[in-house]
Amino acid sequence: MLDQIMEALGNALGSIPVIGPFLKIIIPIIRKVLKIFGL
């Protein structure tokens, strides 16, 4: 479920050219943080 949310966010924000590159950096960090908190 979380992966689907992240993918949807990535697709929505990825359509904005400026944000796309940041997402590639931010999403892996978010995933690591969520794994630390056990989500």
pLDDT digits (tens, 9 = 90+) for 6-31: 778 777 766 777 776 777 888 889 88
Q: Is 38 exposed, middle or buried (0-12, 13-18, 19+ CB in 10 A)?
A: exposed
pTM, 2 dp: 0.43
Contacts of 23 by beta carbon, 8 Å cutoff, 6+ apart: 9, 10, 13, 14
